[in-house]
Amino acid sequence: MTANVGKLKGGPQRFVVAPVETVGGEITVPGDKSITHRAAMLASVACGTSRIHDFLGGDDCLATLEAFRALGVAIETDEHGVLEIEGRGLAGLRAPAHPLDLGNSGTALRLMAGLLAAQPFDVELTGDDSLRSRPMARIADPLGAMGARIDTAGGRAPLVIRSGARLKGIEYALPVASAQVKSALLLAGLSAVGRTTLRSPGPTRDHTERMLPGMGVPVDEDAHSNVVSLEGPAEPRAIEITVPGDFSSAAFFIVAGCLAANDGMTIRNVGVNPTRTGLLTILRAMGAEIELSAIRTMGGEQVADIHVRQCPLRGIEVPPHLVPLAIDEFPILFIAAAGAAGRTIVRGAQELRHKECDRLSVMASALNALGIDARELPDGLIIEGGRFKGGRAASHGDHRVAMALAVASVLSERPIEILDTAQVATSFPGFTAVAAQTGIAVESRRL
């Protein structure tokens, strides 16, 4: 996996996916998007030149690179495909000549808001229609309590960050368990005077906390009480890091394997950070046979090979405490639920209404359109197991919804057509090729 740091891709597209009876093989998936974003951001404000191996060349991460280039950061790829970022330090960024367009990436926009909150210049952060519809007061308000001067468009993007802020560390209780909010405040804490302490109502991804100590910034954590803190100001040092395979990308093939890998399937070099793998716990509770091997640590992150094979799944009521640990994997979990015997109930997942689309509403509509009985709850879904009939479903431009519906082909009687799939490139460039390696026949067509 090498970084593709060329121009962003796009255009109206749809998937047409033929039914398949079995899947299998051995695959790898692209680098982790969450870790890639954080590595690029921290490297850009570090002292020295960082080297990032297996950088994810998806549109979201390319937008992050373009934003930092506009902020004066030199970014190149060497002859081996390793990304080299010449850090400018926390005070070395320059004013961009235009608003920074983060495309579809909520992670990029929210984390950059924290990182840029103390800069001595005005900067505007914006994105596509989907990104501009998502809530931003959840970061603007606590950043304002730290001293940042941020204007929003009615609590949404674009965000205009004003110069002249002098940040101070605060103690803050997050109203929702959000890794993006937590990370934005930690990144702001790098430029703040004093200690920034954050309390979360539940566990969240901890990639930021794992990466910072490797760059010379001590972080104090209490995993039992979900409290994290750091003392500022603190400037990161350059790092050399290898980005593991993205668990969220692997999730599509983990579920495909559970449903149709009669002879097994293996996904190599996947990040298995415990704050990301709630899907495995849920699938195992449904009866899945999943094994991890060659477990090791890379750049502070746990990595493993994942082995999965087909076995009967049963519907369950998903424990609410696992929801934050599988929040990005719910579109594909809903496909597993559709292939399980009996009823699956998901509650406590209202955060899914604030993703690239309202994933509860969109997935319920798509499942029903394809022949599965799915009922929407205020904070979840009830899904009756069955078999997909095939037909047409809308992804509403959500990359994870589109890929999840493609996996439904392993249980479908007829082809599935998925509309508005161009955004798959934001997180999983080469998805159709990797799917083909497993036996899933995804044809991408222009509209």
- pLDDT (mean) for 389-405: 96
Residue 11 pLDDT class (50, 70, 90 cuts): low
What one-letter code names the amino acid at 94? Answer: R
Is 328 designated active site? yes
- pLDDT (mean) for 103-108: 92
- Does pLDDT of 341 surpass 80? yes
pLDDT the model gives residue 112: 98
Catalytic residue (choose from 32, 328, 398, 420): 328
Higher pLDDT, 192 or 59: 192
- pLDDT (mean) for 100-110: 94
What burial letters (b/e) apply to 88-114, b meaning 16+ CB within 10 Å? bebeebeebeebbbbbbbbbbbbbbbb
- pLDDT (mean) for 315-327: 94
The average confidence (pLDDT) of the chain is 94
Each residue's pLDDT tens digit, 135-185: 999 999 999 999 999 999 999 999 999 998 999 999 999 998 899 999 999
Paired sense of beta strands 123-126 and 100-101, if any: parallel
- The DSSP H or E segment spanning 187 is helix 179-189
Asked if residue 100 lies in contact with residue 72, where contact means CB atoms within 8 angstroms, the answer is no
- Does pLDDT of 10 surpass 80? no
Residue 36 pLDDT class (50, 70, 90 cuts): very high
pLDDT the model gives residue 9: 44
- Does pLDDT of 4 surpass 70? no
Q: Comparing 8-17, 332-341, 372-381, which segment has the lowest mean pLDDT? A: 8-17
Each residue's pLDDT tens digit, 207-222: 999 999 999 999 999 9
- Does pLDDT of 6 surpass 90? no
- The DSSP H or E segment spanning 339 is none
pTM above the 0.85 mark? yes
How many Cβ atoms from other residues are within 10 Å of residue 23's Cβ?
A: 25
What CA–CA distance (Å, rounded) separates 282 from 287? 9
pLDDT the model gives residue 277: 95
Domains of the chain from N-terminus onward: 13-32+244-446 (3.65.10.10), 33-241 (3.65.10.10)
Residue 336 pLDDT class (50, 70, 90 cuts): very high
Each residue's pLDDT tens digit, 173-218: 999 889 999 999 999 999 999 999 999 998 899 999 999 999 999 9
Name residue, tokens 């979201």.
60
How many Cβ atoms from other residues are within 10 Å of residue 22's Cβ?
A: 14
Sign of the alpha-carbon torsion through 218, 328, 318, 251: negative
Percent of the chain with pLDDT over 70: 97
Q: Output phi, psi for 142, to 5 deg.
A: -65, -35
Residue 296 pLDDT class (50, 70, 90 cuts): very high
Percent of the chain with pLDDT over 90: 89
